[in-house]
Chains A and B, each alone.
Chain A
Amino acid sequence: MTKKVLIGLGNLLMTDEGIGVRIIQELVRTHRISSDIEALDLGPGGLPVLHALDGVEHAIFVDCAFMGEEPGTLKRFRAEEAQTVKVQARQSAHEGDLFETLELAKRVGQCPSDIVVFGIQPGVVELGVDLSPTLEEQLPAYVDAVAAELNCAD
């Protein structure tokens, strides 16, 4: 059973919102990832995240995050160091909040003890297939930061 997962979240059709998925795609293309780590692109997330956490001890998430920082800023933090302030309309099953999923995972007893989040402050979140220039420029640096966390080779 895999004990470590790396999960990229986001929607590639929503510009910077897709940064988590873009980083995973780049990382898998440019680095050798150790066989004990499962790297997953889970798109907009939700319950598939919960399934991916089953039996996992260490989870690393990469996601677009509004953190009150300058666009393009990458912050590495542990899940317990942040709390969600996301407003959800609760009209559809399509919206989601990773922190809510983690709370659910806790309540059903399948939440890893060790959760690290790489949040990237977006510049633009609107319909479009390209990252904003600010994030596109820094994509290699984001990939390196996540790779360093995994100790993986180029």
Chain B
Amino acid sequence: MSKTVDIKVHHVTRVEGHGNIRVRAKDGAIEKLEWQVPEAPRFFEAMVRGRKYEDIQTIVSRICGICSVTHSLAAIKAIERAMDTPVTDQTDRLRILAHYGEQLESHILHVGYLVAPDLLGQKSVVPVASSHPEVVQTVITLHRLGNTMMEVLTGRKTHPVRLVPGGFSMLPSAKELRALKQELVDSVPKLTALAEVIASLAGGIPSFTRETEYVALVNEPHYPFYHGQVGSTDISELASVQDFEDIVNEYVIPQSTAKWAKWHREAYMVGSLARFNLNAEFLAPLAKQTAAMLGLEKGCYNPYMNSVVQVVESVQVVERSIELIDEILTVGLRVERPDVKIRAGVGAAAVEAPRGILFHRYEFDDKGECVSANMTIPTNQNHGNIQKDFEALVPTIIDRPQDEIRQVMEMLVRAYDPCISCSTHYLDVEFV
């Protein structure tokens, strides 16, 4: 009997930004298979041109409601590079702590909101709150902890205000840091419980594998989110962040208005799985143990496991945050005034967003005004890899019912934890 598969996942929302999935096949022969990204062209670079250096991080923090600390830090690091501004160990530690808060918040949100409902066979987190209230409560508690970390460190729950070039405009108190440490210590059993839930549902994770190039920061002997050079599983040496345009090699193709990226192959992957595949041996003890419990080993080529690595990284950032607070309090908090000497210059920086490596570059004139900017966000680096995954995955499942094919493909997209940059939260209502 002849069988036709015709999948058109086209999201007609009021504001574009999501990808479309297109599959057409007849009797197992695939005629069309595309990951289409009709994202509106981005004008962030134009938004910062002409702005003073000290305003940049505030503007770019609004690019994304979830990775706002990451965008701020990428901008600040690039500005400090351009203006040759050193920062103290205290600034470094406090920034990393704020950044860990964002990793925790974002990973827990992704795993709780998008991955758990898939594994529990639900359409969204709302019904999960009734069927598995303890899971949702754990997710809410851990997410709130990530929020609290950002509030204590950056002055706000979202869109930081205290992160500035040269340091902090205001420091947290030792008392706040001690309270935060206690909350982090108390969260460990909850994280373990969440990891156990994910382990118990792991049978629902598709067993698809496709080796690709994995790209992330590398900073031995640390598991890096904030410092490091750019590593790839395809080469042994590290690449300089200052030359990031030679890494991302952005290009345009007809099926997408978002730019795609490639380095040593036709596509590469960034995100938790890439960080893990490059740095797994540097995980902290409990994170290592969690990875083993979840069956993860370095050299994992299943992109769906990206979400599982997020659970491991959640443990990692909590473990390291506890140590970091101890280090900060042992040295003692000192009042430091950010000191930036304005000069003309250019600088690039890379920071790991929860969903992968993020690059920013800025050039300033001698008044400290931005004359040019360039950003490459992690999700754009992953688009090409999603297409290549589709090309390897779909032929192996094309004989399944159409709805099942669509579901497996949608789960794959979700596993990459895509960032819809300039995300919106408008209401769309009718009155009853």
Given A46-B109, A90-B124; A11-B422 close (CB under 8 Å):
yes
Q: Is the CB of A90 within 8 A of B114?
A: yes
Residue in A11, A41, A42, A90 whose beta carbon sits within 8 Å of that of B423 in the complex:
A11
| Contact stretch, chosen from A12-20, A133-141, A145-153 | A12-20
Query: A13 touching B47 by the CB < 8 A rule?
Result: yes
A36 CB-CB contact with B under 8 Å: no
Inside 8 A of A99's CB, which chain B residues have their CB? Answer: 427, 429
Are A13 and B137 in contact, CB atoms less than 8 angstroms apart? no
Q: Indicate if the CB atoms of B65 and A45 lie closer than 8 Å.
A: yes
Would A89 and B11 count as touching, CB distance under 8 A? yes
Residues in chain A near residue B22, CB distance under 8 A? none
A84–B410 CB distance below 8 A? no
Q: Chain B contacts of A29 at CB under 8 A? A: none
Contact between B136 and A108 (Cβ–Cβ < 8 Å)?
A: yes
Task: List, in ascending order, chain B residues with CB within 8 A of A127's CB.
Answer: 40, 42-44, 47, 422
Q: Is A72 an interface residue (CB 8 A)?
A: no
Q: Does A116 interact with chain B (Cβ within 8 Å)?
A: no
A48 and B147 contacting across the interface, CB-CB below 8 Å: yes
A45 CA to B109 CA in the complex, in Å? 12
A62 and B390 alpha carbons, distance in the complex (Å): 41
Residue from the list A17, A90, A94, A126 in contact with B419, Cβ < 8 A: A94
Q: Tell me if B159 counts as interface (CB < 8 A to partner A).
A: yes
**Binary contact readout B98-136 vs A (1 if CB under 8 angstroms, 0 otherwise):** 000000001001100110000000011110011001001
Interface string of B1-36 (1 = CB under 8 A from A): 000000000011111001100000000000000000
Q: Which candidate, B56-64, B227-235, B240-248, B280-288, is the interface stretch facing chain A? A: B56-64
Whether B403 sits at the interface, judged by CB under 8 Å, is: no
Pair B129/A107 contact, Cβ less than 8 Å: yes
In the bound complex, how far is the Cα of B156 from the Cα of A94, in angstroms?
Answer: 19
Chain B positions 171 through 199: 1 when the CB is less than 8 Å from some CB of chain A, otherwise 0: 00000000000000000000000000000
Q: Is B140 an interface residue (CB 8 A)?
A: yes
Q: Give A58 Cβ to nearest chain B Cβ, in Å.
A: 19
- Encoded as 1 (CB less than 8 Å from any B CB) or 0, chain A from 73 to 112 comes to 0000100111111111111111111111001100110000
Min C-beta distance of B161 to chain A, whole Å? 10
A-B contact count (CB 8 A): 198
Query: CB distance B429 to A66 under 8 Å?
Result: yes
**Cβ–Cβ < 8 Å partners of A68 in chain B:** 430
- The reply on A5 being an interface residue by CB < 8 A is no
Q: Which chain B residue shows the least CB distance to A86? A: B428
In the assembled complex, A27 has its CB within 8 A of some CB on chain B: no
Which residues of B lie under 8 Å from residue A67 when comparing CB positions?
427, 429-431
Q: Quick check: is A123 within 8 A (CB to CB) of the other chain?
A: no
Q: How far is the CA of A108 from the CA of B137 in the complex (A)?
A: 7
Contact code string A112-126 (vs B, CB < 8 Å = 1, else 0): 000001010010011
Given contacts A96-B425, A129-B47, contact A11 B137 (CB under 8 A): no
User: Chain B contacts of A11 at CB under 8 A?
Assistant: 62, 65, 422-425
List of A residues within 8 angstroms of B72 by Cβ: none
Contacts of A39 in B (CB 8 A): none
Given A84-B429, A85-B430, are A94 and B14 neighbors across the interface (CB < 8 Å)? Answer: no
In the complex, which residues of chain A have a beta carbon less than 8 angstroms from the beta carbon of B64? 94
| A85, B11: Cα distance in complex, Å | 14
Q: In the bound complex, how far is the Cα of B14 from the Cα of A65, in angstroms?
A: 11
CA A12 to CA B44, docked complex, whole Å: 12
Given contacts A108-B136, A127-B43, contact A98 B144 (CB under 8 A): no
Q: Does A13 contact B431, Cβ atoms closer than 8 Å?
A: no
Q: Which residues of A contact B (CB under 8 A)?
A: 9-14, 17, 40-48, 50-52, 63-68, 77, 80-100, 103-104, 107-108, 117, 119, 122, 125-129
6 nearest CB pairs, A to B: A44-B65, A89-B18, A107-B129, A65-B427, A86-B428, A94-B423
CB-defined A-B contacts under 8 Å, sample of 12 = A47-B140, A50-B140, A51-B144, A63-B427, A65-B428, A67-B427, A83-B429, A84-B429, A91-B414, A93-B114, A94-B64, A127-B43
